[in-house]
Structure 1
Amino acid sequence: MKGLENIKSISGHNGAIYDVIFCDPFLFTTSADKYVAQWNPKTGEQTKFAVKLERSSYNIAFSKKHNLLAVGTNNGGIHVINTEKKEEIRLLTQHKSGVFALIHNEKKGHFYSGDKDGVFCAWSSETFDLLITLPYNCGKIREISLSEDGEFLAICGQDGIVRILETSFFNQTNELTAHKEGANCALFDGDFLYTGGKDAHIKKWNWKDEKQLLTIPAHNYAVYDLEFLNNKKNLVSVSFDKSIKLWNTEDISIIERIEFKNRGHRHTVNRIAKISENSFATVSDDRKIKIWKLKND
């Protein structure tokens, strides 16, 4: 059975690392130290690209087509930075509270953002015109996830509900009462959706039928992020309990648990960035970026 191997541990930030995304060939991270940094995951070296902010940022998203990095800050501002010219081109001020969710839809040419008060916004990634604002009053929007074809998105609310919207007109198509204490993350797989919550459970749904198919107590504390590996045969989860877990996707059965004692993180693990079908990065409050790969059978 496959497990995980830690192939790199990268230091450089002077504060908790809140988010990581992979934009081939680099990783971007954002931290409590108010820097957004870029890294080479193969060498572990920081590049010359870095952005110093006036406030902490919880999340980032990138449009490869336009070389634009969007950075959401704790006062609701979204900084739009041209990574080639290394300059800020826009500051979006629609949100009035901290931006906790940010993602780019390459297929539709949209950025989506969600804030602490439950307000969802959609933006054109070309003009940064505001396309729509939807106030859900669902508490903090912790994550916005996309279907593989870009046609649907899932909004994970602090009220425990996962709302599914289509991305042409932003009508809500489905609603899952997912996690009693708050929904933190979601991952699409065709008609299936995997969700992780503050209740420490991972659940599998047929989201179109709004039916729960599986639920397991996955971690000791809140599940913060989920990602597929190995052509969706494996699922990775990270948690407030400081651990990383590798699962068989179909039945959500455990393969391996990684903790500090076996080269894992010392503190809360916040996010996952998939690099390839057999490798990914994790970031933590311990200020470390760790690169992992699936061991060969």
Structure 2
Amino acid sequence: MITHLHTLSGHQNPIYALANAAKAATFYSAGNDKGVVEWSLATMAFVKVLLPVQSSVYAMQRHDNLLFVAQRSGLILVFDVMQEKILSTLSYHQKAVFDVKIIAYKNELISTGEDGMVAVWSLKDFSLLYHFPVIQNTVRVIAVSNDEKEVALGCKDGIIRIYNSEDYTLITELKDHSLPVTSLQYDPGSSYLISGSRDAQLKVWTLPDYTISNSIPAHMFGIYSIAFHPTEPFFATCSQDKSIKLWDSRNFKLYKILSLEKNTPGHFHSINKLIWSGDGRYLISTGDDRQVMVWEFNA
């Protein structure tokens, strides 16, 4: 079902962020290094340092030919990958930015992080449109519903807060995790929201009313990323426990554990981020061991 294909080395420090490129078979990685790196899935090799950064990168989001790079400094770089230049530097957050997401129908970017604030930016001129407080400390992760009408925020107090994307009013608060929420995704079929936490639990919230329908003791330690396959009914999770797990997205059956402790290839430190390649052929993982691992998927 899923097998280790290649390990890409070159980063000198922990890696926190991955993003697919606009062009096929290319992706980006970044972390506690001095640059965003471009890799080729066609050649399984380093391509180039895409752009230098002045502080650690905690999240990246691509939109058309733009790459948004969120940094520990609180700054967000807007990089045009075709022109290979920085178009703008978004400055509002006073502390680290942990996540950025696009709301395409409004032509907006939203950002959040250690300051507990959400900032809303125009994709037309990169101006700051709006900002509002969520909590007094960290908001770790953002998920946008498939119809883009709702925005979920995973917070340090263990609460998931759901906002209306039209006017950013609070819709509801989901309280079942006992520790900070560190990963969050809406499933592609728009039937549920799934959350992961430092409490090592996966929680499934049925839409549209966000009633909790499942609680899964998924990992030994915090769950740092959840990634749904683009076309097949599977999702992957990764954790501070150094494992990757592959699940059925319909019945939550566990199919595969990728871990050195299970005598498979794997990471030897905390795994911080997962993405699927655009065509769904590869799962890409990375973390504190400075390695980028590429896994081949066969349904």
Match of 1:295 in 2: 298
Measure, in 2, the Cα distance between the counterparts of 1:215 and 1:159: 18
Match of 2:288 in 1: 285
Residues 39-61 of structure 1 show CA distances to partners (whole Å, capped at 9, x for unaligned) of 11222222235211121111111
Match of 2:144 in 1: 146
Measure, in 1, the Cα distance between the counterparts of 2:103 and 2:44: 28
Structure 2 unaligned regions, length at least 5: none
Match of 2:270 in 1: 268
Aligned residues: 292
SS at match of 1:162: strand
Residues 63-94 of structure 1 show CA distances to partners (whole Å, capped at 9, x for unaligned) of 21xx2221111121112222222222212210
SS at match of 1:265: coil
Q: Between 151-160 and 173-182, report the one with greater CA deviation.
A: 173-182
SS at match of 1:96: coil
Post-superposition shift, 1:224? Answer: 0.6
Native 8 Å contact 1:206 1:213 kept in 2: yes
Amino acid at match of 2:172: N
Residues 179-233 of structure 1 show CA distances to partners (whole Å, capped at 9, x for unaligned) of 1111111111314111111100011111432311000110000001111127352
Amino acid at match of 1:274: W
**CA 294–124 in structure 1, closer or farther in 2 if over 3 Å, else same:** same
Measure, in 2, the Cα distance between the counterparts of 1:30 and 1:138: 28
Native 8 Å contact 1:242 1:267 kept in 2: yes
- TM normalised by structure 2 equals 0.92
SS at match of 1:262: coil
Post-superposition shift, 1:109? Answer: 2.0
Post-superposition shift, 1:240? Answer: 0.6
C-alpha RMSD of the superposition: 1.7
- State how 1:65-76 maps to structure 2 within 5 Å: 67-76=65-74
Native 8 Å contact 2:192 2:210 kept in 1: no
Measure, in 2, the Cα distance between the counterparts of 1:280 and 1:153: 25
- State how 1:232-271 maps to structure 2 within 5 Å: 233-260=233-260, 261-271=263-273
Structure 1 unaligned regions, length at least 5: none
Match of 1:173 in 2: 171
SS at match of 1:37: strand
Post-superposition shift, 1:171? Answer: 1.9
